[in-house]
Amino acid sequence: MDKPIYDVVILGSGPAGLQAAIHASRKKTRVLILGRVGKSSLAWAHVENFLGLVRTTGEQMLATGLEQARSFGAEILEEDALSIAPNGLCLGIETESGRHVCARSLVIATGTTRNRLGAPGEKELLGRGVSYCVDCDGGFFRGEDVAVVGGQSAAAGGALTLLGLARTVHLVAQKLEVSPTLRDKLVNSGVILHEGAKVEAIEGATQVTGLTLSNGTRLAVAGVFIELGAKGVLELAAALGLTLDDTMKYIQTDKKQATSAPGVFAAGDITGPPLQMAKAVGEGCVAGISAATYAKNQKLAQEGVTPPDEE
């Protein structure tokens, strides 16, 4: 399959990702933004505390920001990234429709996932069958029956990953909101889909033993993976071996927004509090410039040219 090469790929189309795209594309680099604009935390906000804007909606800011990024040449694909892996001189990224792109440098601006389910048993059985990370904990459930809860790419991708490990994989989704390709892949995969159902309770005294759904169905499972939202930071960071901060919830970066992996930068809520737009755009600006510089230097090095001093 043809794999287009981008200088900079940005995961996330919220304020951090869009600002990174604006700065990277103004440096004459080929930029691709991945992610659904409408899923940014800002999409629901009424903003009063951003310099120079007295009162506006997040929706309006995102629409204008996207147009700005496009006007400087950035491309956008409103799909989630499902997996990332080093691939020779670039990072190979697979999106939820099965497209593959190659990135010389990467900016992770995926925001934070507020992914608690709020069902009885969830808190009590955390670490005893309840998990929030398929890629971290899936291996503990080899040969067992498991369920994944969620309707977006994190859940769909997680269920497909678990098929290679578990005996039976259920997917409980109130509403399945994934690309047609991913939906087809799921339907034809052997994952048992419970669409339109909600989890009423997670059962078990000391270990998970089952799930009760709102349609009255009881699923006997040993593991429940709560994967609400898009493919999240834990999985993507784990795939790249990125260092997290002390809380283990956010990606650690330096002043250039560089992570512990060469060519990988992070910006916005994903790097930790304050979870505010002003911080997200500031970090996005730095990350976009850093990623563009890294990609340009990598190209020069491949041509045997010594890169100029850093800007």
Burial label, 253 (beta-carbon count in 10 A; 0-12, 13-18, 19+)? buried
Q: Does 36 bind ligand FAD (CB under 6 A)?
A: yes
Q: Does 296 bind ligand FAD (CB under 6 A)?
A: no
Nearer Cβ to ligand FAD (40/257): 40
CA distances from 214 to 29, 174, 262 (A): 50, 10, 46
Among 44, 254, 301, 307, binds ligand FAD (CB under 6 A): 44
**How would DSSP label each residue in 57-94?**
EHHHHHHHHHHHHHHTT-EEE-S-EEEEEEETTEEEEE
Nearer Cβ to ligand FAD (125/226): 226
Give CA–CA dist 201/37, Å, rounded.
32
Helix axes 15-25, 277-302, angle to 10 degrees: 40
Count of positions (residues) in the chain: 311
With beta carbons less than 8 A apart as the criterion, state whether 29 and 5 touch.
no
Stretch that binds ligand FAD, among 12-20, 176-184, 203-211, 218-226 (CB under 6 A): 12-20
Q: How far is C-alpha 61 from the geometric centre of its chain's CA atoms?
A: 21
For the window 232-271, what string marks contact with ligand FAD as x by the rule CB under 6 A? ------------------------------------xxx-
Among 27, 39, 170, 185, binds ligand FAD (CB under 6 A): 39
**Tokens 């039976």, residue located:** 168
Read off the amino acid at residue 9: V
Among 105, 110, 253, 290, binds ligand FAD (CB under 6 A): 110
Q: Does 16 bind ligand FAD (CB under 6 A)?
A: yes
According to CB under 6 A, which residues from 209 to 238 bind ligand FAD? 230-231
Stretch that binds ligand FAD, among 33-41, 166-174, 196-204, 217-225 (CB under 6 A): 33-41
Among 9, 22, 31, 34, binds ligand FAD (CB under 6 A): 34
DSSP state, residue 242? P
Of the candidates 268, 259, 265, the residue with the CA atom closest to the CA atom of residue 289 = 265
**How many Cα atoms are found within 13 Å in the side-chain-facing hemisphere of 299?**
14
Q: Does 171 bind ligand FAD (CB under 6 A)?
A: no
Among 5, 26, 41, 137, binds ligand FAD (CB under 6 A): 41
Among 29, 84, 99, 111, binds ligand FAD (CB under 6 A): 111
Of the candidates 140, 157, 125, the residue with the CA atom closest to the CA atom of residue 235 = 157
Q: How many CB atoms lie within 10 A of CB 164?
A: 9
Shortest spacing between CB 159 and ligand FAD, in angstroms: 15
Shortest spacing between CB 13 and ligand FAD, in angstroms: 4
Q: Does 159 bind ligand FAD (CB under 6 A)?
A: no
Q: Which residues bind ligand FAD (CB under 6 A)?
A: 11-17, 34-37, 39-42, 44-45, 47, 49, 80-81, 109-111, 230-231, 268-270, 275-278, 280
